[in-house]
Amino acid sequence: MNLFDYLCTPEPLVHIANIFLLVSFSAKSMLALRALNIIAGGFFIAYFILLPQPLWASIAWNVLFGVVNFWRIWLAILERRPPHLSAEEQALYHRAFTTLTPRAYRKLLDCGQWENGLPPVMLSARGETPKRLWMVAEGLIEVRCINGNIRPIQPGDFVGETAFLSKNPMAADITIAEPVRFISWATRDLENFMDSNPQIGAVLQRLLGQCLVRKLNAAG
């Protein structure tokens, strides 16, 4: 059999498919690996179809592999797309959460809920262990200490981070001083979220610590 006759047989398709598989093993990107596997699967399907007796079982398996790879590629593309953030969410992101990726920030927002508050509502009283952690987006919340000192909580600052980090009761009253817009997280939900997303949790732990240090420096 000469070279031309050999190339007219289905057999070269197997070699081409395996070349694509071999190249896929060195791909650093998961998207590239899956794309190369899809191409290899296409050549395998063509080979099995062109046999004198098509191997339908092998064709079906390669079609299934291709569908799975297409699906995973599509999901990966969706995950890389920037999440939708409202103007309010973008403003808070640039104020306090730039150390998180936008997608991680979106996940954190989805774990909490936006709320409005009016004075003189008290969010938490001295001696209570708050069940939520708050962050001010607009407006003013005040921390009223037992010695009479009043500390303002400005937009971009957490409220209740000391109790959240230490698991101890509040040492002051937390009161809404003027109409406020904030996002809050149930402490148990937030703890579970941080455990399930350790990278986001580590960044959030650092942000909470930085907020606490900032308040202590301002008080001192």
Tell whether the model's pLDDT for residue 118 goes beyond 70: yes
Kindly indicate the confidence band of residue 153, based on its pLDDT and cuts at 50, 70 and 90.
Answer: confident
User: What average pLDDT does the chain have?
Assistant: 86
Tell whether the model's pLDDT for residue 217 goes beyond 80: no
* Weakest mean pLDDT among 145-149, 153-157, 167-171: 145-149
* Weakest mean pLDDT among 17-26, 34-43, 72-81: 72-81
Contacts of 128 (CB under 8 A, 6+ apart): 169, 170
The CA-atom distances, in angstroms, between 15 and each of 4, 10, 89 are: 16, 10, 53
HSE-CB at 105 with a 13 A cutoff on CA atoms is 21
For the chain, how many residues are written?
220
CATH 2.60.120.10 placement within the chain: 87-219
Best CA proximity match to 65, nearest among 19, 22, 34: 34
Greater model confidence, 129 or 147:
129
Q: What percent of the chain has pLDDT over 70?
A: 95
Q: Under CATH, which architecture does the 87-219 domain have?
A: Sandwich (2.60)
CA distance 183 to 93: 12
Q: What is the mean pLDDT of residues 50-73?
A: 91
Q: pLDDT at position 4, please? A: 52
Tell whether the model's pLDDT for residue 187 goes beyond 80: yes
Q: What is the mean pLDDT of residues 32-56?
A: 90
Q: What DSSP designation does 127 have?
A: T
Greater model confidence, 216 or 91:
91
